Chains A and B, each alone.
Chain A
Amino acid sequence: MRRRLRAEPRLLAGAGAGFVAGAVIGALRTGQPDPAPHIAELSAHGTGLLAWLILGPLLGVVLARFTSRGMGTGPAVAASGVLLGMVLWVIWSLSLLPLLVGEAPRWSAPLAGQAYGELIAATMAGGLSAVVLIALGPLIPAPAARAAAQEERTRIVILGGGFAGVSAARRLESLAPRSRGWDVTLVSRSNYLLFTPMLAEVASGAIEAHHIGAPVRVAVPRTRFVRGEALDVDLARRCVRVGAGEREQELPYDQLVLALGAEPTYRDLPGLAEHTLTLKSLADASAVRNHVLAQLEAAEGEEDPAERRRLLTFAVVGGGFAGTELLAELRDLVAAVARFFPDVRGEPMRYLLVHSRERILPEVSAGLAAFALRQLRERGIEFRLGARVAGATERALLLEGGESIEAGTIVWTAGNQTSPVVQALPLEQSAAGAVKVDACLRVPGAEGVWAIGDCAAIPKGDGQHPPTAQHALREGKALADNLAAALRGGEPRPFRFEGVGMLVALGHRTAVAELRGARFTGFVAWLMWRAVYLGKLPGLEKKVRVLVDWVVDLAFPRDIVLTGAPDRLSEHQAEAPAEAAS
């Protein structure tokens, strides 16, 4: 407290100015008639002057807090003093004083007339406080330079700009006003927070790509943002090496938050990296959309029926959220734009989902998964359940057992692994490569290191918390609270969260939803999906943009404009026949 008063001498000057004003006004008020009964009662007890000696400094402190020193601020301080006096009259004379003498405040015109003397006194006190404060101005020392304090700030580095990392940074920002000694830096290879639940809709062209990406700089404006890739972490020297293009820099830290998420893994299966698409970023989603439209364009001019059938085969590997939603959306995209391709229009399209387990959507209950399977099958989607992928060529997807499925489009959504940076750390890791943390999200054996999100194995009973977006968001907040508690000498709390539920869009305005045990299917679930995820989408502006996209999508056909350079897969496929010919 003493330090705070020392740091803000202007407040002390304000209190002094208010005291002088209160004393003068109180003295002038002494002996004046008070028609207002409650004020007269106060004066009769001889407390009128005392009240002004208390109210004056209070008024002066508020005035000093609300105004600032500097050239030309005098008139603003004076006018503010008068206005503050008026507000003080409303609060004190018309509201609190009646309450203090046991009456209900009425704020009526007659009562205001009776208390008019107090109104003049309060505005005069405000004006006089301002004049004294202005006069004291040259004597008030300027606020001490904060350079030293800047150097002493705790450096918090967050690696990863996904849900977990940005959520932690946002929470730290909201805690920052109470702890100005933190310097938070967030490192991410992309400068936006990707809202992954809507990625499939970007791939199908229902939503513009950049509408589901919230710029990190906007989401966390008081956090220092470094666009770059974390290359390695030196736990001994407490610094992170970050690369951005040709440039590298070292970021020293006092507290490190690992929130690097997960990356697609092809499990060393041959040909997958070269011949399949993935769905982890906006670029991936745009590439999928472009590739599908390119296949339709190619099929339109194709004379060979077998090749046309291959071009019109769309395969997705992985029957989890991402794979199921993506294939359903791709089916809607192709169905919606087929009218623009006369030769393709009558052709049978083949949509295929390959999944290693016996049922799709393992994250939801068996009943909902069965509903989803039935719905999608009725729309002509083919499922190969219990089938394992052995590899891919430029023209086909290879399954274990030797089966080859000719397909123009293959999207891989079947595997993720933690970041190589995390895997390289000398820390205890789970079988999936995630860093093991305690219930408070601290990494055991590494002082000042925390981990959240998909790259962390967070204990939950005998198992772990699942790597979902809703968990990552809560983990980010919990981590920020725990980190703040640790820095302030408090006790971190164990992370506890039970998932709210699951929502899966199945295209064609249907979905399945499971919220707090209640199950929904069909159109109602689809509406819930849109409402919930629109609400969760970061930033009001993005919400509006996505909403507009949805409305436009209801009224107009999907766009078939091919944008950007040909995608990697199309290039491979284009080269293959040429090589064969040579």
Chain B
Amino acid sequence: MTAAAAAPRPASLVRRVPAGAGAGALAGLAGGLAFGAAMVEQGDMLPTIAAIVRSDAPGVGFLVHMVFAAVIGALFGMLVGREGVRSAEAIIWGVTYGAFWWFLGALTLLPLLTDNAVLWTLEAAQAGLPSLFGHLLYGLVTAGVLVLVRGPRSAASRRAPTPALARGAAAGAVAAAALLWILTANAALLADSGFAGGSRALLWLAGLATGGLAGGAYGAVYPRPRGGGGPAMIRGLAYGVALWAGVAVTLVPLLAGDGLAWDLAGARARTASLPGFALAGLALVVLYRAVSALVGSLFEDDPRADEDEGAGTRFLRALGTGTLAGLAGGLLFTGVLLEVDGLPTIAGIAGGRSTFAGLALHLLIAVLIGASFAVLFRRETFDGASSLAWGVCYGVAWWFIGNLTMLPWLLGERPEWTAADLGEGFPSLVGHVLYGAALGITLGVLRLRSRAWWVSTSAARGERAQRQREQLLSAAPALWALVAVIALVLPLLVARA
């Protein structure tokens, strides 16, 4: 430590500035610049902000925007510093934080501050879609800069992440190859996704490179994956949607000279690639985690594995509790399917058309997914909130995997992912959300009932507090909120005002 570093700072000054606020404000300014640049490109957003100070000059609007960006960034810095969130996880918190400020700032406070009525309508939200993308960018850049400013928080994260980067790049390339295979096998889907312009070879090259880069970036940011396979799926889903926003809606149109495609028409025109990106992101993170776990199990000794009750017991326990929980969720989902006459479609998987066959098959699938949930989230669901939240997230993930992708294939059709197709699948999304909620709550109740007599109430509380801490550090609540944002954005893209 140098003498300068060791010299005490004026105590009063330290007391006046809350920890993290300065770094947060700096990061917020960087985020504000990125968002501001996008607003300049979009053209019509800055005068709206200037109206807060009763002006319509874009320059004034930019200044007001930067002040807000710094203040909101300082707040973020304080929150992240207070909770001790790990550097890499702060990025997920940042994106969620940005989305939060779209609802609170753009949709609620901005109309109030500019003497307009608060309008939470579909039209208002669709008109504010560019602002939503901007807020997401702001959150991402703010969190990223904050991570850089604060520096790595542990020795582990200071290590050169070359193997992780390579693993991530490989996982990304494989996931991208799978997505490209789906797209190129379906000419209509390729055209709807907006990637049919150039040659196939160029598309594959660019796609694989993008996948590799995305995977490498993920590996660099998260060299040591945390959490189980279930959270990895949800994390991957969110990463995939973020990649869609960053690549399909932002970079590709920019490189094509079309400007940002953040408005409703631009985003809706690229909706057909959203499920593909979401699934590719999911595959990327799950693959990356699987390879990392394999490497870890071969070359690292994890003492926590000693407490594991064994794959067989886990599987059997999950089969028992997951079957019940999946059945509860499946029965709730059945109400939606009966109303929209979806059971005969499900019966088509087995070549039938009867409602009864569809119901039996639907409940079987519900039970299997329930059992997989019990296995994948066995360490993550320990109270009502985590059970419900992971359940809903898992339900949404299965809407992408099952309803949008596997079901068409099992019916002998090719998946169509246009905004209209997603709109048709919206009742199923509602059903999946209800299914996930019932699944999570039922499983949570079943697990609560199985507490052993020797675990005292205080010990159980202590264990729960420890898990809550780990959950917070792994940015799980941010992921839940991000999945909620995804579900909130979908109606914007598929519903017509």
Question: Which A positions have Cβ atoms within 8 angstroms of B?
Answer: 28-29, 31-33, 35, 65-68, 70-80, 82-84, 86-87, 90-91, 94, 104-110, 112-114, 116-117, 119-121, 123-124, 127, 146, 177, 184, 221-224, 540-541, 544
* Residues of chain B with a CB closer than 8 A to A78's CB: 477, 481
Residues of A within 8 A of B497 (CB): 113
- In the complex where A68-B464, A77-B385, A113-B496 touch, is A86 in contact with B103 (Cβ < 8 A)? no
Cβ of B478 under 8 Å from chain A: yes
Of the candidates A82, A94, A541, the one whose C-beta lies within 8 Å of that of B430 is: A94
A184 and B452 CA atoms in complex are apart in Å by 12
Annotate B352-389 by CB proximity to A: 1 below 8 A, 0 otherwise: 00000000000000000000000000000001111111
How far in angstroms is the closest Cβ of chain A from B417? 14
Inside 8 A of A105's CB, which chain B residues have their CB? 339
Instruction: Tell me, in angstroms, the Cα distance from A281 to B317 when the chains sit together.
Output: 28
* A109/B423 in contact, CB under 8 A: yes
Q: Which 4 A-B pairs give the minimum distances between C-beta atoms? A: A113-B495, A66-B384, A79-B477, A109-B423
Which of B312, B387, B495 contacts A541, CB < 8 Å? B312
**Alpha-carbon separation in the docked complex, A177 to B451 (Å):** 11
What is the chain A residue whose CB lies nearest that of B472? A72
The one of A35, A67, A540, A541 in contact with B385, judged by C-beta atoms closer than 8 angstroms, is A67
Q: Is the CB of B388 within 8 A of A117?
A: no
Whose C-beta in chain A lies nearest to the C-beta of B479?
A: A79
**B interface residue numbers (CB < 8 A to A):** 83-84, 93, 96, 100, 103-104, 107-108, 117-122, 125, 312-313, 316-317, 319-320, 336, 339-340, 383-389, 392, 422-424, 426-427, 430-431, 433-434, 437, 449-454, 457, 461, 464-465, 468-469, 471-472, 476-478, 480-481, 483-484, 487-488, 491-492, 494-497
| B383–A66 CB distance below 8 A | yes
> For the complex, what is the distance from the CA of A447 to the CA of B389, rounded to whole Å?
50
Interface of A is mostly: helix
Complex Cα distance, B485 from A119, in Å, reads 11
A107 adjacent to B426 (CB under 8 Å): yes
Please name 9 further chain A to chain B contacts, defined as beta carbons within 8 Å, in addition to the given A32-B120, A117-B122, A120-B488, sorted by A numbering.
A32-B119, A65-B384, A71-B465, A90-B434, A109-B424, A109-B426, A113-B494, A121-B120, A540-B320
B residues within 8 A CB of A32? 117-121
Taking a contact as CB atoms closer than 8 A, the residue among A76, A117, A544 that contacts B471 in the complex is A76
**Are the C-beta atoms of B83 and A72 separated by less than 8 Å?**
yes
Contact A75 B383 (CB under 8 A): no
Chain A residue nearest to B84 (CB atoms) is A72
* Complex contact A123–B103 (CB within 8 A): yes
Query: Are B426 and A123 in contact, with the CB atoms below 8 A?
Result: no
Contacting pair B468 A70 (CB below 8 A)? yes
Do B121 and A117 touch across chains, with their CB atoms under 8 A apart? yes
Contact of B433 among A76, A86, A109, A121 (CB under 8 A): A86
Residue of A nearest to B119 (CB): A32
Beyond A32-B119, A80-B389, A90-B430, whether A116 also contacts B480 by CB under 8 A is: no
Inter-chain CA distance A571–B452, complex, in Å, is 44
Most buried by A among B464, B477, B487: B477
Could you tell me if B388 and A66 are in contact, using CB atoms closer than 8 angstroms? yes
Contact (Cβ within 8 A) B389 A106: no
B427 CB, min distance to chain A CBs, angstroms:
4
Count contacts between A and B, CB distance < 8 Å.
Answer: 182
B488 contacts A123, CB within 8 Å?
Answer: yes
**Which chain B residues lie closer than 8 Å to A223 at the CB level?**
453
Q: List chain A residues, Cβ under 8 A from B495.
A: 109-110, 112-114, 116
Q: Tell me the bound Cα distance from A387 to B174 in angstroms.
A: 78
What's the least CB distance linking B247 to chain A, in Å? 25
Residue of A whose beta carbon sits closest to that of B428: A107
CA of A509 to CA of B175 in the docked complex: distance in angstroms? 53
Measured CA separation A215–B181 after assembly (Å) = 52
Q: Which of A74, A104, A120 contacts B125 (CB 8 A)?
A: A120
A80 and B118 form a contact (CB under 8 A): no
25 CB < 8 A contacts A-B: A32-B121, A66-B384, A72-B83, A76-B471, A76-B477, A77-B385, A78-B481, A79-B480, A79-B484, A82-B484, A83-B483, A90-B430, A107-B430, A108-B340, A109-B495, A112-B495, A114-B495, A117-B121, A120-B488, A121-B120, A124-B120, A177-B449, A222-B451, A540-B320, A544-B312
Closest-by-CB residue of B relative to A128 is: B104
Complex contacts, B313 vs chain A, CB 8 Å = 541
Q: Which residues of A sit under 8 angstroms from B386, Cβ to Cβ?
A: 76
A116–B121 CB distance below 8 A? yes
Whether the pair B312, A76 counts as a contact (CB closer than 8 A) is no
CA distance A74 to B342 in the complex (A): 40
Shortest CB–CB separation between residue A171 and chain B, in angstroms?
14
Task: Determine the chain B residues whose CB is within 8 A of the CB of A31 once the complex forms.
Answer: 117
Q: Contacts A112-B495, A541-B313 known; A83 to B480 CB distance under 8 Å?
A: yes
In Å, the complex CA distance between A73 and B472 comes to: 8
* Whole-angstrom CA separation of A32 from B387 in the bound complex: 35
In the complex with contacts A68-B383, A87-B437, A146-B457, A120-B491 CB distance below 8 A: no
Q: Is the CB of A33 within 8 A of B121?
A: yes
Interface contact A87-B433, CB-CB below 8 Å: yes
List chain A residues, Cβ under 8 A from B454: 224
Report A-chain residues with C-beta under 8 Å of the C-beta of B453.
184, 221-224
Closest partner residue, chain A, to B454 (CB atom): A224
The answer to whether B385 and A76 have CB atoms under 8 Å apart is: yes
Which residues of A lie under 8 Å from residue B472 when comparing CB positions?
Answer: 72-73, 75-76
**A107 near B431 (CB under 8 angstroms)?**
yes
Q: Which residues of A contact B488 (CB under 8 A)?
A: 86, 119-120, 123
Contact pick for B103, options A33, A94, A120, CB 8 Å: A120
Does B389 contact A68, Cβ atoms closer than 8 Å? no
* Alpha-carbon distance between A77 and B83 when the two chains are bound, in angstroms: 14
B465 CB contacts on chain A under 8 angstroms:
70-71
When the two chains form the complex, which single residue of A73, A104, A107, A116 contacts B120, counting CB atoms closer than 8 Å?
A116
Bound Cα distance from A87 to B483, whole angstroms:
12
Instruction: From B104, B392, B471, give the contact of A87 (CB < 8 A).
Output: B392
Which residues from chain B contact A221 at a C-beta distance below 8 Å? Answer: 450-453
Q: Are A107 and B339 CB-contacts (below 8 A) given A73-B468, A120-B125, A221-B452?
A: yes
Q: Which residue of B lies closest to A120 (CB)?
A: B120
The smallest C-beta distance from B441 to any residue of chain A, in angstroms, reads 8
Partner among A79, A94, A117, A541 whose Cβ is within 8 Å of the Cβ of B316: A541
Q: How far is the CA of A120 from the CA of B122 in the complex (A)?
A: 10
Query: A79: which of B384, B431, B478 is its contact (CB, 8 Å)?
Result: B478
Asked if A112 meets B468 with Cβ closer than 8 Å, knowing A28-B118, A121-B120, the reply is: no
- Expressed in whole angstroms, the Cα–Cα distance for A541 and B309 within the complex equals 12
A36 to chain B, nearest CB (A): 10
A-side contacts of B388, CB under 8 Å: 66, 80, 83-84, 87
How far, in Å, is B215 (CB) from chain A's closest CB?
27
- In contact, B477 and A107 (Cβ under 8 angstroms): no
Chain A residue numbers with a CB within 8 Å of B312 are 541, 544
Q: Flag if A82 contacts B83 (CB, 8 Å).
A: no
Chain A residue at smallest Cβ distance from B427: A107
A67 and B384 contact, Cβ closer than 8 Å, known pairs A76-B472, A146-B457: yes
Q: How far is the CA of A124 from the CA of B495 in the complex (A)?
A: 21
Q: A104-B339, A116-B122, A177-B449 are in contact. Are A86 and B487 (CB under 8 A)?
A: yes
Whether A90 and B433, one on each chain, are in contact in the complex, defined by CB atoms closer than 8 angstroms, is yes
Task: Write out the residue numbers on chain B whose beta carbons fall within 8 Å of the beta carbon of A224.
Answer: 453-454
> Within 8 Å CB of B430, what residues of A?
90, 94, 107, 112
* Closest CB in chain A relative to B403 CB, distance in Å: 13
Whole-angstrom distance between the Cβ of A230 and the nearest chain B Cβ:
20
- The distance in angstroms between the C-alpha atoms of A68 and B466, with both chains bound, is 12
Query: Would you give the shortest CB distance from A397 to chain B, in whole angstroms?
Result: 45
Cβ-defined contact, B426 with A120, below 8 A:
no
Report B461 CB to chain A, min CB distance, Å: 8
Whether B121 lies near A75 (C-beta < 8 A) is no
Report A539 CB to chain B, min CB distance, Å. Answer: 9
Give bound CA distance, A445 to B313, whole Å.
Answer: 46
Contacts of B457 in A (CB 8 A): 146
| A124 CB contacts on chain B under 8 angstroms | 103-104, 108, 120
- Residues in A neighbouring B121, C-beta threshold 8 A: 32-33, 35, 116-117
